Amino acid sequence: MEYDVTIGLEVHAQLLTSTKIFCRCSTEYNSPPNTNTCPVCLGHPGVLPTLNKKVVEFAIMAALALRANINRKSFFSRKNYFYPDLPKGYQITQYEVPFATGGYIEIETENGKKAVRIREMHIEEDAGKSFHPEGSCIEHTLVDMNRCGIPLLEIVSEPDIRSPKEASNYLKRLRQLLRYLGICAGNMEEGNFRCDANISIKPKGTSFPGVRRELKNLNSFRFLEKALEWELNYQRTLVETGGKIQPETLCWDEKELRAIPMRTKETSSDYRYFPEPDLPPLVISDERIEEIKRLVPELPWDREKRFISEYGLRGYDATLICSERSIADYFEQTAAKFKNFRLLANWLTTELFRELSERKLTMDNFPVKPESLALLLSFLESDKINLQSAKRAFSIMISTGENDVEKVISEHNLLQISDEVSLETIVDDVLKGYPGELERYRQGKSSLFEFFIGQVMKKTKGKANPQLAREILKRKLSTSSQ
């Protein structure tokens, strides 16, 4: 039987504020347990929360970028439930009138682009964190309250997603957007960008809704896809063997690669929402929205289109370069000094990405300045150095932090050998040094041409002009074969 799949995501993005949402405690990630706390975020009796202004500004930026409708007056509520790491016994969130509604984000699908609609966005506080230390003999759950009160922006999609891959693409696009805005770090391994996924199936073409089940706290794209694929298979198998799907909340076991039931699925009535008595309504003026609108940068998908039209980049390269705002900025800063945009794009998507990955660097601490890369690539373009030498110079500059390109090339003797007489001598020496291979080449083993080129490059330590070396070798072999 074929099924219609319905998926909706609830994304929790920690906002990049220096202090918490309702108090002045630090939001620093790796602080010792239970050090970034105070009576407010620990829920002591009699304390009063005060809303962080920066949280509201960040929420406005996100809503504008997602084309959502900002409610000029929204309200805070208490969502009541018990967790060991929720000291107040409730979470301050928004319920009846959220911060914003509507909006959408475009994603790639098998059938082209598709808009996934946003149902609502609301501001809320995070809970603490429960954990068991690895290798510890302690049998009790330990609780770190540092995360209590960290500001969250919850973005709830409409159930427009139809496959695990679409869900992953949506999450990637949303993460990219929030990072571009500079309002969320998006470090999923640190838990500051995570999602809950709601999924249901129904026989294709039927009108009644499927039974919704929820997968909680998925913090990687890979786990999101795997968890949804597992759950889809579970629901199909259950239906086809005569079973009945039960509404449940599940957690994903990363080691066993399966979903484990946590509890039956709650409804809003289970949380006993009621208005937060200690916070007034959140009122936002049109003037404030206009002020924040000027802070919203060019969005990644708009930048991709501009890079294609303005710089003549291929769509694939534009997408890769615009994946991070800092890399796109670096491209444009370098492009202001070096006009071979295709060569620059190719360099970034190969050499830069490889170096960042291997050295575990980010653009925030990348040592090679845009103007230095521009000069290095101009040397490559003008044949003063070859590709191998350019790669070596780039690596040296990253390792040493040296941005004087000419100094690096001179000190490491990287200038390309383009003197025809010198190269002819080197080619002659290579052919004399391998008489057996030369004889086999004459007998028709033409693949040995690349062997000889390799030996020329080895003899020159990679500095030979490859095109000129090929021309000379081709001429010499042609003459020797006559």
pLDDT tens across 60-77, in order? Answer: 999 999 999 999 999 999
* Per-residue pLDDT at 133 exceeds 70: no
Identify the pLDDT of residue 427. 86
User: Which backbone phi and psi does 471 adopt, to 5 degrees?
Assistant: -65, -45
The whole model's pTM is what? 0.86
Spatial contact of 313 and 341, defined as CB atoms under 8 Å apart: yes
Q: Give the distance, in angstroms, between the CA of residue 146 and the centroid of all CA atoms in the same chain.
A: 25
% of the chain at pLDDT higher than 90 = 72
% of the chain at pLDDT higher than 70 = 97
CA distance 178 to 20: 18
CA distance 419 to 401: 32
pLDDT tens across 248-292, in order? Answer: 999 998 888 899 988 876 677 788 999 999 999 999 999 999 999
Dihedral over alpha carbons 91, 96, 99, 100 (to 10 degrees): 140
- When pLDDT is cut at 50, 70 and 90, the band that residue 327 belongs to is very high
- When pLDDT is cut at 50, 70 and 90, the band that residue 324 belongs to is very high
* Per-residue pLDDT at 481 exceeds 60: no
Residues in the chain: 482
| Side chain identity at residue 16, one-letter code | L
Mean of pLDDT over the chain? 92
CA distance 384 to 405: 12
* Per-residue pLDDT at 458 exceeds 70: yes
Q: Which of 88-92, 119-123, 161-165, 466-470 has the lowest mean pLDDT?
A: 466-470
Identify the pLDDT of residue 274. 93
* Per-residue pLDDT at 11 exceeds 60: yes
Tell me the torsion sign for CA atoms 442, 448, 453, 458.
negative
Tell me the torsion sign for CA atoms 409, 412, 413, 415.
negative
* Per-residue pLDDT at 316 exceeds 90: yes
Dihedral over alpha carbons 236, 238, 243, 249 (to 10 degrees): -100
Tell me the torsion sign for CA atoms 18, 23, 27, 31.
positive
pLDDT tens across 26-57, in order? Answer: 999 999 999 999 999 999 999 999 999 999 99
SS3 170: helix
| Side chain identity at residue 470, one-letter code | R
Name residues whose C-beta falls within 8 Å of residue 92's C-beta, 6 or more positions apart in sequence: 21, 22, 49, 76, 77, 78, 79, 124, 125, 276, 279
pLDDT tens across 94-112, in order? Answer: 999 999 999 999 999 998 9
**Which residues share a beta bridge with 44?**
none
Structure tokens at 177: 């957007």
* Per-residue pLDDT at 482 exceeds 70: no
* CA dist 352 → 36, 178, 319, 327, 342 (Å): 37, 23, 15, 9, 14
Identify the pLDDT of residue 137. 54
Q: Which of 172-176, 206-210, 320-324 has the lowest mean pLDDT?
A: 206-210
Q: How far apart are the first and last CA of the chain?
A: 71
